[in-house]
Chains A and B, each alone.
Chain A
Amino acid sequence: MKRAGVALLALGLALAAFQAEAKTFRYAYRIDPASLDPHALAETFTLSWLGQIYEPLVGRGKDLELVSALAEKWEQPNPTTWRFHLRANVKFAGGEPFTADDVIFSVKRIKAEGSDMAYTVASVTEVKKIDDLTVDFIMAEPNPILPMQTTSTYIVSKAWSEKNNAAMPASIKNKQENFATSNANGTGPFMIKERQVGVKTVLVPNPAWWGVKEHNLTEVVFTPIQSDATRVAALLSGEVDMVYPVPQQDAARVNSTGKHQLLTGFELRTIFVNMDQARDELLESSVKGKNPFKDKRVRQALYQAIDMEAIKSRIMGGTSHIAGTMVAPGINGFDAKLDMRLPFDPEASKKLLAEAGYPSGFEIGMDCPNDRYVNDEKICQAIVGMLARIGIKVNLLAQTRTRYFEKILSRNTTLSILGWQPLSYDAHSTLQDVINTPKDKIGTYNVGSFSNKRIDELTDLIEKEVDPAKRQALITEALTIHKSEIGHIPLHQAGLAWGVRKGVSVHLRNDDSLELKWVKVDD
C-alpha cells in the first residue's frame, strides 16, 4: 500500500518534471497551407510551412544562403550535370530509410501530371543513381542555378508513397482525394500529430531527425487566423506566442505592450505597376486610336508622379523598402546600383505628358487586387490620387484576387499592380516570367507585354552562364535596359512584420518563412 503510494508519488513527480519540460509554441498565420502534398501547389507559404516536415536536397540558412540538407555536398562534374552526395543514416518519420531511390522517385513525381513544382526541375532530363547515396541530375543545357531552384523541391519516401497510393501528386484534376493531401511523411525536424484542415494543426518534433536540435519545443500548435485584427488580438491577449503578418497599423501597438516585440524585415517580393504596351489602342482609356503607353515619356510621367516616400510613410507605416529595380535585395542578381528610383517630380511628369501630346492628361482604367499584397488596395488608391494630380484620371477596380488574376492574366487590363517573388530566389525568374516578351511559357506575368529583344537574348544567356561574375554582369545589363526603358514601374518591397511574445525567440528570414527548428520558448 505504502509502496504503491511512493510509486504514485514518483510517477507524479516524473509527470510534473515532464510538464515543466513541455514547451508548446503556438503561432498563427493568415492562411492554412493549401495541402500537405509537397508537390501539389507552388505557393510561397505552403512551401515554407511544409519545409518544417519535408526537406530538399539543398536548403536555405538563416540569411538565405544555400546550406546542406538531405545532400551533404553537391558539385558540377561537367556543365550539364549536378552531382549530389546524400546524407547517410537519414530516416523518414515513418521509419523508411532515405536513399537515392527516394530522390529519383521524388523528381519523377514532381515531373508528373498534376504536380505544380515541375518548374523547379524543368531543366533536368534525367536523374541517375550512382550509388545508394549519390545521384546525378543530368540536363540538356547547362544550368548553373539548379541548387538554388530546388530549395523547395521536397523529397518524399518512395515506399510510403507507393504503399499509400500516392505515387502521383495530389491533383484536383483527378477529382479524388490523395492520401498525401492529408498525411505527411518527411525527413524534416517536425511531424504532424493532428490536423484539422483550415482550423488547427499540431506538430511534434520528429525524434528521428538527423540534424542538431536548436529548438526546445515539444509541441507546436498552428492556427490560421484570417482577420488581421483578430490575429493581432490573439497575440496581445496571450493566446498565441507569435503571429505573422502583423498589419503595419498595429506594429506600434505590438511594440508598446512591453510583453511583445516586433521583428521586421523586407519581403523578397517586388511590387510594381504594369502598363499595357502591346495594344494599338488601350482597352479602358479616353485616348482613341493610339496607345499612350507606347511612348516612354508617358511611362516616365507616371513613374515620376508616384510619391513612394509618401506611400512608405503613410500607408506602409515606414516599414517598406522603396524599389528602384525589379528584384529585391536578397535575390541573387540584385544590384544595389540599380536600386535608385527616378525622383518624384509631378512637374516633370506634367511636362513629359505635354511633350508626348497629352497636355491635359487622359483617362484610363486600373486593376488592383484587394486581398493579395500588403495594403494593395490602399496603394492603388494612393496612386489614383497621385496620378490625378498630373491630369490622369484613373478608374480603379479593386477586387478579390480570384477575379483580379483572371482579368489581368487574360491581358484584359490597362494599368495594374502586381508582385513577383522569384521562387528560385534568382533574378532570372523575374526576367523570364515578368519582363520577357510573352511567348508560350515565357512572360506569363508580363501583363503589360513589355518587349525588348536584347533583354530576351540576355535572359537566354543568363540561363546558361555558369560563371557567377559573368552571369551577374548579364543580369545587371538586362535590368539596366529595363530600368531605362521603364518597362514597368517598380514600387517597393513591403515590410515583413512578425509579432512575438517576449520570452520566445524566433529567427525572421527575409523570405517570410518561419523555421520552427530555430524557435526557442524560454519560460
Chain B
Amino acid sequence: MSTNVVTRPQRWWDSDFVYDFRHSPVAIVATIVTVVLIAVALGADFVVPFNVNDPASANVVDARLPPGSSGMFGSNYLLGTDPQGRDMLSAVIFGLRTSLMVGGASVVLAAFVGILLGLVSGYIGGWLDALIMRIADVQLTFPAILIALLIDGISRTAMDRATHEALAIPVLVVAIAATYWVQYARTIRALVLVERDKDYVLAARVIGVSPLRILLSHICPNVLGPIVVIATINLALAILTEATLSFLGIGVPPTTPSLGSLVRIGNEFLFSGDWWISAVPGAMLVALSLAVNLLGDWLRDALNPRLSGR
C-alpha cells in the first residue's frame, strides 16, 4: 500500500461531514437553492428587468396586472405587477435582497451579542452571570414583537426623517436582533459551564494562560457548532419576523420592497382574486425559508457527533 498518500482535498472529500453531505440529496438541493437565492439577491441590480427602487419606474396605470401582461407603455411583466404598478418579479428580487440583508445582519448581530454575553456569563459567573441571565429571562418572556415595536418607535421619533430613512434597515436589524440574542447567550453559557471544568481548560489555567486567551482559543472553537445551527434556523425566523413587523405597520420604508411587506400587501388582495400579488412573494419566502431550514436541520444532524456514528 505504498500509494497510500492521501492528499488534503482527498481527506476533506472523504471526511464524515462531506461524505454525509454528498449522500444527502436534501442537503444538496437546499444548498443549491440557498446559494442561488443569495446570488440573485446580491446581483439584484443586474438581474431585474425594472429598477423598482426608483419610484419613477412604477407606473400606477399598470397596477395589478396579472402575470404575463403587457403594460400601457409596452413593458412586459412576467409575474404581473403589484398595486403600485411595480413589476412583481423585480420587486420580489429586490425584496429578497432586503429580507436577506435584514435577516442576515440581525442574525450576525444577535449571535455576536449573544455569544459575548454567554461567554462572559458562563466563564466569569457571579453577579454578572446572574444579571445577564435574569435579563435574558425577562427578555425571553417579553413579547418579541413588542420589543421590536418599541425600538422602532424610538428610532422614528428620535431621528429626523433623513436619518431615519437612511437608518431604517439598521434599526430593523437591531429590533430583530434584540429578540434573538438570548438563545445564543443561553446556549453558549450552558456549553461554557460544561467546558470550563474540563481538564484541558483547568490545565491551561494552571499554566497561567489569561482568561481571555482561554476563552478565545480553547472554549470558543468547541461551542461554535451549535451556534451555526441556531443561526441558520434563526435566519429563517428573522425573515419571518420582518414580515410580521411589516404586517403590524412597521418595518422597512414603503418604497423599499421586502418579502414581508410584499406579502403583507398581497394579503389585502387575496379575496379579490389577484392571487399573484401574495403568491409570488409568498412562494419566494417559502423557497428561501425552506432551503435555509433544511440546511440548518442537516447541519444539526451532521455536526452532532452522537448522530454521525452510523
Contacts and interface: CB of A to CB of B under 8 A. Distances in A.
A403 B63 contact: no
Nearest to B247: A227
Contacts, number: 91
B253 interface: yes
Given A253-B271, A371-B249, A400-B249, A385 B164 contact: no
Contacts of B55: 381, 384-385, 387-388, 393-394
Given A252-B273, A253-B273, A399-B156, 10 more contacts: A284-B160, A307-B61, A310-B60, A385-B55, A385-B84, A389-B56, A393-B55, A394-B55, A395-B165, A397-B253
B102 interface: no
B56 A385 contact: yes
16 contacts: A229-B268, A249-B268, A249-B272, A250-B271, A253-B271, A253-B272, A365-B162, A381-B58, A381-B84, A382-B60, A382-B84, A385-B58, A388-B54, A393-B55, A394-B55, A396-B253
B161 A378 contact: no
Contacts of A399: 156
B70 interface: no
Interface of B: 54-61, 63-64, 83-85, 156-157, 160-162, 164-165, 249, 253-255, 267-274
A377 interface: yes
Nearest to B267: A229
A333 B276 CA distance: 45
Contacts of B56: 385, 388-389
Contacts of B272: 249-250, 252-253
B132 to A, nearest CB: 33
B255 A381 contact: yes
A145 B54 CA distance: 49
Contacts of A371: 249
Contacts of B255: 381, 384, 396
A315 B81 CA distance: 13
Chain B contact residues: helix, strand, loop or mixed:
loop
Interface of A: 228-229, 232-233, 236, 247, 249-250, 252-253, 284, 307, 310-311, 313-315, 365, 370-371, 377-378, 380-382, 384-389, 393-400, 403
A314 B85 contact: yes
A310 B268 contact: no
Nearest to A366: B161
Contacts of A395: 161-162, 165
B58 A315 contact: no
Contacts of A229: 267-268, 270-271
Contacts of B64: 314
Contacts of B253: 396-398
A397 B60 CA distance: 19
Contacts of A386: 60
Contacts of B165: 395, 397
Given A382-B84, A397-B161, A398-B254, A314 B63 contact: yes
B59 A315 contact: no
A384 B60 CA distance: 11
Contacts of A381: 55, 58, 84, 254-255
A60 to B, nearest CB: 33
A228 B269 CA distance: 10
A386 B274 CA distance: 24
Contacts of B156: 399, 403
